[in-house]
Amino acid sequence: MQLFKEGYSCAQSVTAAFADLYGFTRSQALKMSASFGGGIGRMRYVCGAASGMFILAGLDCGTDIAADTDAKAANYKVVQQLASEFVKECGSLVCADLLGLDRPLMPLASAEGYKPAPRTEQYYQKRPCVKTVEIAAEIFANYLENKQSFI
Query: pTM (2 decimals)?
Result: 0.92
- Quick one: pLDDT at residue 105? 57
Burial code of 45-54, b = ≥16 C-beta within 10 A, e = fewer? bbbbbbbbbb
- Quick one: pLDDT at residue 19? 95
pLDDT level of residue 111 (50, 70, 90 thresholds): low
pLDDT level of residue 108 (50, 70, 90 thresholds): low
- Quick one: pLDDT at residue 2? 94
Residue 40 dihedral angles phi and psi, to the nearest 5°: 75, 100
Angle, nearest 10°, between helix axes 10-18 and 48-61? 30
Residue 131 CB contacts under 8 Å (≥ 6 apart), including other chains: 90
